[in-house]
Amino acid sequence: MSIVSDTYHLFIRALKKLVRNPILLFFSLLQPIIFLVLFTQLFSRFVETGLFPAGVTYLEYATPGILLQNGFSSALQSGTSIVDELNSGMLEKMLVTPVNRSAILLGRLVTDAFRVGVQSSIILILAYILGFNVATGAGGIVLAIIIVAFFGLAWSGISLAIGLRTRSAETVFGIGGVLTFPLLFMSTALVPVKAMPTWMADVSSFNPISFAVNAVRDLSLPSAFSGATIASAFVVIGAIAIVTLGATLYLFRKVVK
């Protein structure tokens, strides 16, 4: 069987598992939904400080950041899933079949990207109900979801590498949390650069989350679209994907030998 066919069948297998146990889909949605429903209301008057773009509500400003938060929260599930398959013996069972070895990893990554896309769609629907709109229309919505899914795919490489190296779900969540949450709050996800301390603003200018958030925000805010911002986001996310997924592939090959 070809790698494409094997990847497809493994994706369908993971999709069936997701349908049978939908709590896997909504588990990582809990925190982003809390941010969307509660934080955007709690901090709604922050825009009156004059530090935010004129005429923009906090819901409009923060929703792109919440989408990215969901992206890397979902990415942590990738590492725990591979740990489960390692510890349960499921991976060993796959290895005695004629399935393409690379397809095992690719099937997992495609599933993760698909899950992030579905979750992002749910968040956008809920945000729309609360009053959020994407200024660039349907095309902008699709491109925003692609950016978030691509970001989640790149970020999942970190959790997969940790999972393959440690074989511990607790370690995946522990290290993943230490890496991701400081980066979230030191980015433009929830506040503009003007509202940050100088040192934090300096970190934000190199923070990959800021690049991705700024691209999604440009697509959603009126008169903010910038092709350069979109392109730079894909370049940064692509560079992260090369590093993280390269490390994952290296560790995966050691496991399947």
Residue range 183-217, pLDDT digits in tens: 888 898 888 888 888 999 999 989 999 999 999 99
Which pLDDT belongs to residue 90? 73
Domain that holds residue 92: 3-256
Angstrom distance (rounded) from CA 231 to CA 229? 5
Low-confidence winner among 18-32, 104-118, 127-141 (lowest mean pLDDT): 18-32
Q: What is the pLDDT of residues 38-52, one digit of tens each?
A: 888 888 888 888 888
Answer whether 203's CB lies under 8 Å from 186's CB.
Answer: yes
- What is the domain count for the chain? 1
Instruction: Please say if the pLDDT value at position 1 is more than 60.
Output: no
- pTM (two decimals): 0.87
* Total number of residues shown for the chain: 257
Which pLDDT belongs to residue 118? 85
Which sign, positive or negative, has the C-alpha torsion 111, 88, 245, 28? positive
Q: What is the mean pLDDT of the chain?
A: 83
Cα-only R_g, the chain: 19
